[in-house]
A and B are shown apart, each in its own frame.
Chain A
């Protein structure tokens, strides 16, 4: 697939970014933001996951379009699983 060799600097930069994200999300967890606590935690988690996928899993450097298709499909079907289930459970007003 990718013959890209990551530079030592970029490996360490992503590592520091992930550690900074962890510090930020733990600090934010103790501040009362109401319903936004969940949104902030999940947003930071998604940014961290995106960094890992793009740089550590070398997706940014791949020339293979099928890899992208598999990733987008996985996220899409996960979204269907979560969104349609919650659309059911959160609208059962008669219970």
Chain B
């Protein structure tokens, strides 16, 4: 495949998109793609540390984490999951549009992705606001007075309440993990805004769309992180 590409590619001075230290366009694209995957691999380790901290404390404060998890709004969490899945679809459609050389379709799908990204962040902001109102934000004004899971069946005098300090740890991890994820979303929205402008100017063609492809990889990765955050923070203590 590479030899045929090398023959087909124009010499360097006839192809301004090909940087001088690469032999072929294929090689240049492979290098950029590998760099992006290596970046995502270290992102896996970065979020992995947060997930590990969550696992350790969940194991240690099992009941309190269940109680605190039930305070999250599963309806908004589900809507946000659907919003992110839709944004992943628009990213794929944007890449398809640029591969087919449809410039306006590319700009449209990039803008649609930004719209879904902003919708996600708006819903997240609403959830954060509710946490502030309920004093569930870790810090000086934190207060927590909720039952441990499954205590409703006992008479009121015998019911056990969750340890507020342990619940505070859940909310610390909740804000650290979803906050880091939201920061990635904000960076992604900015990135896609830049790409949409460049795409509108006609920078990307079926011959050269590596930035679109790599930004797409980033966006899908952020989507995958949310898939696990949604499961671990919102879902697994819901039945208790």
Residues of A within 8 A of B (CB): 1, 3, 5-6, 8, 11-12, 14-15, 18-19, 22, 25-26, 29-33, 37-38, 41-42, 44-45, 48-49, 52-53, 56-58, 63-64, 66-67, 70-71, 73-75, 77-78, 81-82, 85-86, 89-90
Instruction: Return the chain B residue nearest A62 by Cβ.
Output: B33
Q: List 13 A-B contacts (CB under 8 A).
A: A5-B100, A11-B96, A18-B85, A22-B81, A29-B234, A30-B239, A42-B228, A45-B228, A52-B223, A66-B37, A78-B48, A81-B49, A86-B55
| Chain A hits for B95, CB < 8 A | 6
The residue from B41, B56, B82, B92 contacting A22, defined by CB atoms under 8 A apart: B82
Residues of B within 8 A of A (CB): 1, 29-30, 33-34, 37-38, 40-41, 44-45, 48-49, 51-52, 55-56, 59-60, 74, 78, 81-82, 85-86, 88-89, 91-93, 95-96, 99-100, 213, 216-217, 220-221, 223-224, 227-228, 230-232, 234-236, 238-240
| Chain B hits for A29, CB < 8 A | 74, 234-236, 238-239
The residue from B1, B34, B89, B224 contacting A11, defined by CB atoms under 8 A apart: B89
Check B52 against A41 for contact (C-beta < 8 Å).
no
Check A89 against B56 for contact (C-beta < 8 Å).
yes
Shortest B201–chain A CB gap in Å is 23
Instruction: Return the chain B residue nearest A64 by Cβ.
Output: B30
Main secondary structure of the interface of A (DSSP, over half): helix
- In the bound assembly, the distance between CA atoms of A81 and B55 in angstroms comes to 11
6 shortest A-B CB distances, which residue pairs?
A74-B41, A29-B235, A29-B238, A41-B231, A74-B44, A1-B33
Check A70 against B223 for contact (C-beta < 8 Å).
no
| Chain B hits for A32, CB < 8 A | 239-240
| Chain B hits for A52, CB < 8 A | 88, 220, 223-224, 227
- In the bound assembly, the distance between CA atoms of A86 and B48 in angstroms comes to 13
- In the bound assembly, the distance between CA atoms of A41 and B235 in angstroms comes to 7
Check B86 against A78 for contact (C-beta < 8 Å).
no
| Chain A hits for B37, CB < 8 A | 66-67, 70-71
Check A86 against B59 for contact (C-beta < 8 Å).
yes
- In the bound assembly, the distance between CA atoms of A29 and B234 in angstroms comes to 9
Check A6 against B92 for contact (C-beta < 8 Å).
yes
The residue from B34, B55, B89, B92 contacting A64, defined by CB atoms under 8 A apart: B34
| Chain B hits for A85, CB < 8 A | 52, 55-56
Check B30 against A37 for contact (C-beta < 8 Å).
no
Instruction: Return the chain A residue nearest B223 by Cβ.
Output: A52
Check B41 against A70 for contact (C-beta < 8 Å).
yes
Given A5-B96, A5-B100, A82-B52, A53 and B224 touching (CB < 8 A)?
yes
Check A5 against B99 for contact (C-beta < 8 Å).
yes
- In the bound assembly, the distance between CA atoms of A32 and B236 in angstroms comes to 10
